[in-house]
Chains A and B, each alone.
Chain A
Amino acid sequence: MKISLKVNGQLREADVEPRKTLLDTLREDFLLVGSHAGCEHGVCGACTVLIDGEPSRSCLMFAVQADGYEITTIEGLAPAPGELSVVQDAFCETHGLQCGYCTPGMVLTAHALLEHNDAPSRDDIVEAISGNICRCTGYGQIVEAVEFAADRLRKTNLPRHARSDANNPGKPPFGGNDALGHGVLTAVQPDTPRGGRA
């Protein structure tokens, strides 16, 4: 059966068997292997993608059902190649991932939560990620990552002088230097400490 869906903003087409899940289609037909196959029956959350902006399990949907929907996978979050979204970066900063298997699902779930609610309580975060299992059990840092990302996202909407450094409340941001472009997060260089940032 022929289907066409919007994946990460691009119109994609595939000819799939009705029994093929959206997860398998994303991985095999579109080569978007960031969505992970875990339990394949809706328990673990590793395959979470955003369907029309809402987190859903891609193993619990056949590709034919997704015909015409807008899908966002982990590959679609970063603003540009080599860069990270605020949520992804927060996961790095707070060591919110260990083996990384659950991470795409966690990041997308957190991303969707922060789209609705930019000041989630700890309980809101725990509830939002309750359907995503981390078998390294690094939940503490994952919750911290989401809190950190929320904090950053809230501050991006404030004028610069009103922001405070996340780690040093009260201290002027960026050492008080308010020059144009100063303190803006630069593109990440992998394999260097703190993503290559000073």
Chain B
Amino acid sequence: MKPAPFDYIRPVSLAEACEVLAGDEDARIIAGGQTLIPMLAMRLARPSRLVDVIRLQELRGIRVEDDAIVIGATTRQAEVERSEEARAALPLLAKALPWVGHPPTRNRGTVGGSIANADPSAEIPLVAVTLGADIEIANTSDRTAMPADDFFIGPMLTAVTPGDCVCAVRFPRWQHARVGTGFHEVSARQSDFAFVAAAAQVALDDDSRCIEATLGLGGIGDRALRIDVSALIGHAPSETAIADIVRAAAKDLEASSDLHASASYRRRVAATLGIRALTDAFAEAASERGAGQ
């Protein structure tokens, strides 16, 4: 369990990191290393050099803006978990983070690392897809943003090309007064890879009618998916109405099958967790006091 030899470079700026990456196709970025190092140890990955970006201050930090919260790529998961600002502005991510790995891996693992790794069962990519986050990417020539839906392509596969570096994740902030969230997950053991995870966020008006709703499912197929729950908008749905909408949407999902969970099990659990997450979100939003109350 020892990695093959590689060169190690610690650039002092993002520009320098991008230059190194552009000049060597086999170079890989390392930040927290909580997924990459096991892959190196098992020799599933053999990069020629590691570009350590964890100390780049320009990639770090949590910034709350009017309509978004921007989390720098090398911000550690534990930092976001502990941040009051992030918890208030992004309650769905706050609910998902305790499911990410274990406390010791969250102390080193980064938000951008989890996004770039694109594990289909990972919680942070699921929240990014559910909320429609934008992923900011830099390379030697420019800095662009890409919707999470386009960024994630398949298992461990993203639209990032060699030479690119994920710099930040921009999660949209909902402006409504009554917002509720729900997050549920089923795995073999606490904090193990999710068989299925469901994330939901809804907003209600003063009469408790739904103005906005989103539901995302992870672990089920080869990437996190957003489920169409627009039928909820304009209603104050009962639990059975939520269940009917989610079941109808989950019925034909393309699900993967493995030793741990069959495709039909995953579809069934996805529907159940989706219903729970939405129900939680509605209940939480209903308990928030609206502006007119």
Contacts and interface: CB of A to CB of B under 8 A. Distances in A.
Contacts of B10: 64
A43 to B, nearest CB: 8
Interface in A44-69: 45, 48, 51, 54-57, 59-62, 64-65
Contacts of B191: 130-131
B1 interface: yes
Given A18-B8, A61-B108, A65-B33, A131 B1 contact: no
B289 to A, nearest CB: 29
B103 A60 contact: no
Interface residues of A, number: 27
Given A62-B37, A65-B33, A56 B108 contact: yes
A55 B104 contact: yes
What is the size category of the interface that chain B forms with chain A? Answer: 20 to 34
Interface in A118-169: 127-128, 130-131
Contacts of A55: 103-104, 107
A19 interface: yes
Contact of B50 (A18, A51, A130): A18
A115 B190 CA distance: 24
B142 to A, nearest CB: 29
Contacts, number: 83
Contact of B6 (A19, A39, A42, A128): A19
B54 A65 contact: yes
Interface in B85-106: 98, 101-105
Contact of A57 (B2, B5, B78, B104): B104
B154 interface: no
A51 B105 CA distance: 12
Contacts of B8: 1, 18, 62, 64
B41 interface: yes
Nearest to A53: B107
B107 A51 contact: yes
A42 B103 contact: no
A53 to B, nearest CB: 10
A59 B37 CA distance: 8
* Interface SS of chain A: mixed
Interface string B216-231: 0000000000000000
Contacts of A61: 33, 37, 108
Given A41-B42, A55-B103, A60-B38, A19 B78 contact: no
B104 to A, nearest CB: 5
- With most chain A CB atoms within 10 A of its CB, the pick from B34, B78, B102, B105 is B102
Contact of B1 (A41, A65, A127): A41
Interface in B5-27: 5-8, 10
A165 to B, nearest CB: 32
26 contacts: A19-B5, A19-B40, A41-B38, A41-B41, A41-B42, A42-B34, A42-B37, A42-B105, A55-B104, A55-B107, A56-B104, A56-B108, A57-B105, A60-B34, A60-B38, A62-B50, A64-B8, A65-B33, A109-B103, A109-B104, A127-B103, A130-B103, A131-B101, A131-B102, A131-B104, A131-B191
Given A62-B8, A130-B103, 16 more contacts: A18-B8, A40-B2, A42-B34, A42-B37, A45-B104, A48-B104, A51-B107, A57-B105, A59-B37, A60-B38, A62-B33, A64-B52, A109-B104, A127-B98, A127-B103, A131-B105
Interface of B: 1-8, 10, 30, 33-34, 37-38, 40-42, 50, 52, 54, 78, 98, 101-105, 107-108, 190-191
